[in-house]
Amino acid sequence: MPQRTLAGVLAALVAGAALAAAAPAIRAQTYEDIAPILAARCAMCHSGAAAAAGLALDSLEGLLKGSRNGPVVVAGAPDKSELVRRLTGKSQPRMPMTGPPFLSDDEIRRFERWIAAGLPTGGGVAPSAVAIPRPAPGEPVTYLHVAPIFATRCAKCHADKGIMGPPPEGYRLTSHAETVSARDRARVVPGQPLASELLRRVRGIARPQMPLNGPPYLEEKEIELIDRWIADGARDAAGQPTPLPVGARVRLHGRVRADGTLDGLRFEGDAARGRERPRSDRQAELRGQVEANGTIRAERLR
């Protein structure tokens, strides 16, 4: 090799070594680094005895124990860790359930680096606070406020691979989009709690009352929060109201009252005046669709 070329190579090596020495080393992430993210975005659903999927994310012990389906982190293998797959959306439903917005790319990389480093504890501290969001006085209720209820009490059945297998009637309660979906029929009619099958089920107006594993059923304050969420427009986590599903089918159960309502729900259509209309205080099923003004047009009441 010519002397000038050799000298150039040596100079390049020396320069590269100097740059490498000057560059800050990427510090391995520890549990202490990800604990605040878990507390702020995950523990609201994944904590306590009713933790969603049996996965408690309010302590290192709970995270390492995993869910009822098995471990969620595999030391040294982020790509094989279900926690990362859920955070990135490679496995569905994507988490956190309150997203979008989901975790940022930087936050997800912290989890990947922690797992790749072998799950170092960094002291093993637990998240100092579990942030259960509550609406401020006068603030509209959003999906952020009701998602923990759905995650801990409903999604164990109403999810893919739930404890009953496929979600009952294909209805999933694992995201805002699925909760308000009118794919086969509307279970949530924004602005109309009494026209929403979801509310009628958790209140016990319709049978069977939900959650199916009750009692205990939802607490009254939880039911009231869901009621307010629907009344406020079934808003997503960012506070945007859900568009009215005009033309969507509904199927509601309850009692026909003397005032002509179905447990307080007023409806329109020929079925409201039909000869076969059930007598007052009798159980009935109403099938119809959502009108542009938010009312329900009954097509069958029996």
Q: What pLDDT score was predicted for residue 128?
A: 55
pLDDT greater than 60 at residue 4 = no
Q: Is the pLDDT of residue 6 over 80?
A: no
Mean pLDDT (the chain) is: 87
Q: Report DSSP state, residue 28.
A: P
User: Can you give the pTM of this predicted structure?
Assistant: 0.80
Nearest to 266 by CA among 288, 248, 282: 288
Name the residue ranges covered by the structural domains of the chain.
Answer: 31-116, 143-301
- 176, 229 Cβ separation under 8 angstroms: no
Residue 251 confidence class, pLDDT cut points 50, 70, 90: very high
Q: What is the pLDDT of residues 58-111, one digit of tens each?
A: 899 999 999 998 999 999 999 999 999 999 999 999 999 988 899 999 999 999
Q: What is the pLDDT of residue 124?
A: 58
- CA–CA distance, 186 with 158 (Å, rounded to integer): 15
What pLDDT score does 197 carry? 98
pLDDT at residue 2 tops 50:
no
**What pLDDT sits at residue 23?**
40
Record the tokens describing residue 248, joined without a space.
Answer: 């969507």
* Angle (deg, nearest 10), helices 105-116 and 31-41: 140
Report the share of the chain in percent with pLDDT over 90.
Answer: 67
Give per-residue pLDDT as tens, 224-239.
Answer: 999 999 999 999 999 9
